[in-house]
Structure 1
């Protein structure tokens, strides 16, 4: 499930390498109704049935009927995937090489093809999973309105509990400064601001990392690189927000919008 073998079709056009352009076109006219696509033609060795080249319908119709089929095929190895190639890699391969379809090959023999239509469906599913993870929950196995009540609770409760426990650490940190907060009640005005800014910064980092994971720019093993990158970034962003906050407080104090009391001095 989720591999090239699970979404490929065996309805494709393949011809022996000793055929001519005219014979190939005649063959396509006969079988086109039973094939998933005729825009990609795969050329195999007539003896070993190994995939040797691939060509497109546009190149085929520009050739002379008597020309060998290999004469209208690009002189390079065709782009292929294995039966176990995952869906994300399939999508990246088709996008990178601008293909209508990609052949699934095992030991040089073509087993089937995965078309761009199949990949679009796959990309929609993968994007949906990424959005669900970004929202702090497990990916749904069914459409939202068809998801059972208990199944929905199960998908959402785990991450909510984890986030709730992590928020408790914030409460513990605030308890450490309880004395200072009692002396300067005005400091409590900035607690929601600080928590909101922390959440916004976390959302930025989360969206960047999840997107990088989806595009295979990073892997789970790169967590330490992400941490080393985000740590100084967070410190600098925090300093910038601190400067903005000090400027705002100073401006409000001098313009008389709010009096921060004796703690201002």
Structure 2
């Protein structure tokens, strides 16, 4: 046990080497089924998992794998050589635990061997190990997307001051960043004072922009987490989201135009607000797909660029567009 702990301490705790178990069943390809079963009776109890048996050479290099089921249903005198699957899916000890979890999701194995740079087997990562990794990573991503600092304690076990500490930094950051929104409004206060009705549409525009940006950022972050979206796919993603934003924006703008016209009987106002809504949706989609990919390029967790930060940026952009259009089109007209 002490040796296993020392082996694990050599690796980053968030890599395959840090979460692996060093107990596994290693056999030689010259063995028969009977010899293998007898070997299991003696050493199998020390293994973390018996789903697979790993074939190593005299230097400990991983050569193949055999499912225990094949051994159990084969005649005692048969050699295991023909049963060996040499097309082994393994992971390097320095592979990030999130990447390991994606490999488990792709292949559905009960365990995966961990090797060093020379393919020498070091241990195995089991599905149970990955379950805890996925739970931990999902919790961290949810906290980042909600602008919360990570905590190892459960909610009911965390004190009031501990919970406040988790939240206050990001709340302060977002509060201060919202100052830009106030500055934009101050820059157009004469226009807003002269046409008060313009202020009534600001919450709708900001909420729509924030929601649209959050929608796309959630999909992009999920796609990157699952390995479906790479940095090289940025322009594909951008082109797709521009088309989506045009469709969504036109529909929302058309409905909004009718709503403002019916309730306010003011076509220029309806056109101004609807045009601002269309541009807001387009901008929010672009920001929502761009920021997570920039974060990944800068080696920052893309989850940090989720709802609160995107909403703050989109609020400032949508407000700028709306008030500029209102001044240019509606008030001057």
Q: Do Structure 1 and Structure 2 share a fold, with TM-score over 0.5?
A: yes
3-state SS, counterpart of residue 31 of structure 2: coil
5+ unaligned residues in a row in structure 2: which ranges? 1-12, 271-333
Deviation for aligned residue 1:225: 4.9
Q: Residue 241 of structure 1: SS of its match in structure 2?
A: helix
Residues 26-175 of structure 1 mapped to structure 2, 5 A cutoff? 26-45=38-57, 47-74=58-85, 76-106=86-116, 107-175=118-186
Q: Distance in 2 between matches of 1:154 and 1:21?
A: 59
**How much has 1:34 moved relative to structure 2?**
2.8
The Cα of 1:49 is off from its aligned counterpart by: 2.6
> Is 1:6 aligned to residue 7 of structure 2?
no
SS at match of 2:178: helix
2:52 is the counterpart of 1:20? no
How many angstroms does 1:153 deviate by? Answer: 3.3
The residue aligned with 2:208 is 197
Deviation (angstroms), 1:179: 2.7
Distance in 2, Cα, partners of 1:180 & 1:163: 27
| 1:176 shift after superposition | 3.0
**Separation in structure 1 between the aligned mates of residue 211 and residue 188 of structure 2, nearest angstrom:** 23
Q: 1:120 Cα shift?
A: 0.8
Higher helix residue share: 2
May I ask how many residue pairs the two structures share in their alignment?
256
Alpha-carbon separation, structure 2, partners of 1:12 and 1:91: 20
Aligned in 2, Cα 1:240/1:140: closer, same or farther, shift over 3 Å? farther
Question: What is the deviation of 1:189?
Answer: 2.1
Deviation digits for residues 46-93 of structure 1 (CA, Å, limit 9, x no counterpart): x3232111011122223222221121122x331111221111111112
Give distance in 2, aligned partners of 1:173 and 1:260: 28
Name the structure 1 match of 2:293.
none
Deviation readout 1:176-201 (Å, 9 max, x if unpaired)? 33233223222222122112112211
Distance 1:155 1:243 in 2: 42
Question: Which residue of structure 1 lines up, in the alignment, with residue 283 of structure 2?
Answer: none
Cα pair 2:56 2:64 within 8 Å, conserved = yes
Partner of 2:10: none
Q: Is the 8 A contact 1:59 1:73 kept in 2?
A: no
Alignment of 1:243-258 (within 5 A): 243-250=254-261, 253=262, 258=263
Q: Which runs of 5+ in 1 are unaligned?
A: none
Residues 17, 43 of structure 1: 8 Å contact kept: yes
RMSD across aligned positions (CA): 2.8
Q: RCO greater where, 1 or 2, for CA within 8 Å and sep 6 or more?
A: 2
